[in-house]
Amino acid sequence: MTEEEIREGIAKHQWWHQIELLPGVMTPGKSQNQFLAKILNLPEDMTGMEVLDIGCWDGFFSFLCEDLGAERVVSCDIWETYGREAFDFAREALGSKAEPLHKSVMDLDPALDGRFDLVLFLGVLYHLKDPLGGLEKMAAMVKPGGRAVIDTVVDVKTLTERPVMAFYPGAELNDDPTNWWVPNIPALSSMMAVAGFSRFESVIQVYGADRTIAHGIKMSDKEYARLKSLDQRARFTWSA
């Protein structure tokens, strides 16, 4: 594409991400993805890695992983807010090989879609009516020993060590009716353990004090099966 074609294409689409399609030519997204990318603590060298970007939207993080050397990137979304046109345009403009996958996290199946060294789950959890089920679906896509990176709103008003979640039945959270559940930190760490992650590696407060980034390392299938067989009260009890 020529620079003129890229500029004209940018103007035709709605954007959530800010993506530099040419030096100095940026899509006008509302997201803070440029800031988030600096603090996600992603591997600096992804050579040979397979990456799944769940809730990819316009594809910024998919393209970032490609730039970091990922061998394969699958960009997964249902594209119901703005549609997929912006992603397709950015992919073409960048010459990206990211593979679009039109699926909800709840429909992902490792037998059909594969398992990945790195799974990104950024800004998705609080949109799910079944957040634990969504985490378990996401975890199933991670190879044993692989990593998941989760960015989510957390409920900092719930000052308790107990794992609890806040429910938003309307548009109370950011005036967005697609937001449903927000965990506190103990709930997030415990849900990640239940979903099959052996370490809640880091918790970083960002955007003030109402979001967090969590890294989880996937258990081996054998270890996860052993823990699932234990008494419910003895399983998966973590502190953040």
Using DSSP's 3-state secondary structure scheme, residue 231 falls into coil
Looking up tokens 């609890």 gives 164
> What are the angstrom distances between the C-alpha of 166 and each of 19, 131, 132, 157?
33, 12, 14, 9
Helix (H, G, I), strand (E, B) or coil at 191: helix
Least confident of 15-24, 168-177, 187-196: 168-177
In tens, the pLDDT along 158-190 reads 667 788 998 999 888 777 888 889 998 888 988
Rounded to whole angstroms, the Cα distance separating 10 from 218 reads: 38
SS3 content of the chain, % helix, strand, coil (to 5): 30, 25, 40
| Domains of the chain listed by start with CATH number | 32-234 (3.40.50.150)
Band of residue 2 on the pLDDT scale cut at 50, 70, 90? confident
Whether the pLDDT of residue 141 is over 80: the answer is yes
Integer Cα distance of 119 and 105 in angstroms: 11
Counting Cα atoms < 13 Å in the Cβ hemisphere of 32 gives 11
CA distance 145 to 232: 24
Residue with token string 């603090």: 39
> Which pTM was predicted?
0.91
Write the CA distances from 69 to 36, 44, 114, 138, 237, integer angstroms. 19, 9, 19, 23, 36
